[in-house]
Amino acid sequence: MPATYVTEAELRSALGIGNLYSSAVVEEVCQAAENIVKSKLWFNSYALVAHESTASVATIYTAIPHDFIVGQTITVENAGAKYNGSKTVTTVPTIYSVTYAVNNATVESYNALVPFGKVYGTTHIDYETLPEVNQASLMIAVDIWQARQASNAGGISPDFQPSPYRMGNTLMARVRGLLADHLAPGGQVG
């Protein structure tokens, strides 16, 4: 699937590379930049830490309090075949759990999920349409491209010393101002 936060055409234009490189190579850089930016944005998603089920009801547990409500459609991923998919919340027993109907399921006691699964609710913002998100993605894509082409092009480390590695901890710092209003609060620890 092609990246949408920064397109191949935008990156080619910004770099002035025309058709010198294959679409696959340029698109890979665009997708990497989008993945980096997406990982920092605030979506209505939560880590799933455990699940259990009866013959007709599945219960999933989130790592932090969620804001799902009864009747809301959620998408569950990486929690096991009978738990995964688009589901309608039937009850909210605690702020850390939700239940939904399952058919012909076997009974399972409480099981921890390692690695964690993921549950998504509706997000009411389309980050693809925000200029600041597009510009941040383009800036990161340019940095990735330049690091691939000339690894000694370098950046500046926090102590103002030249660094041969531009993909370090300052990569996101250079675009954090553009993304500030959309950063996930849970992603800002550390």
Q: Judge whether 50 lies within some domain.
A: yes
Please state which of the ranges 36-40, 134-138, 147-151, 180-184 shows the lowest mean pLDDT: 147-151
**Packing angle of the helix pair 8-15, 131-149 (nearest 10 deg):** 60
**Confidence band of 93 (pLDDT split at 50, 70, 90):** very high
Report phi then psi at 117, rounded to 5.
-90, -170
Higher pLDDT, 121 or 188: 121
Domain match, 28 and 74 both: no
101 and 55 part of one domain? yes
Number of domains in the chain: 2
In a domain, 34, yes or no: yes
Residue 175 to residue 135: CA distance in whole angstroms: 9
**Half-sphere CA count of 124, side-chain side, radius 13 A:** 0
Average pLDDT over residues 100-126: 90
Domain endpoint, select from 120, 153, 168: 120
Mean pLDDT of 59-87: 94
Residue 190's pLDDT is what? Answer: 41
| CA dist list (Å): 40 to 74, 78, 169 | 21, 20, 14
Q: Are residues 88 and 149 in the same domain?
A: no
Domain of 174, in residue numbers:
8-42+125-188
Number of residues that this document lists for the chain: 190
pTM for this one? 0.72
60 and 114 inside one domain? yes
CATH number of the domain residue 62 falls in: 2.40.30.20
Q: What pLDDT, on the 0 to 100 scale, is given for residue 22?
A: 93
Closest CA to 75 of 137, 10, 120, 13: 120
Decide which of 65, 98, 120 is a domain's last residue: 120
Report residue 153's pLDDT band, with 50, 70 and 90 as the boundaries.
low
Q: Is 56 part of a structural domain of the chain?
A: yes
pLDDT tier for residue 96 given thresholds of 50, 70 and 90:
very high
Task: Return d(Cα 138, Cα 35) in angstroms, integer.
Answer: 12
Whether 2 is in a domain gets the answer no
Residue 3 lies in a domain: no
Q: Does some domain include residue 37?
A: yes
pLDDT exceeds cutoff 60 at 154: no
Query: Is pLDDT at 65 greater than 90 in this prediction?
Result: yes
pLDDT at 92: 97
Q: What is the pLDDT of residue 39?
A: 86
Q: Higher-confidence residue: 146 or 84?
A: 84
Q: Same structural domain for residues 70 and 95?
A: yes
- Of 9, 19, 18, 1, nearest to 141 (Cα)? 9
- Residue 12 and residue 105 in one domain: no
Domain co-membership, 58 together with 110: yes
CA distances from 114 to 36, 57, 187 (A): 23, 22, 20
Q: What whole-number distance in Å separates Cα of residue 138 and Cα of residue 121?
A: 28
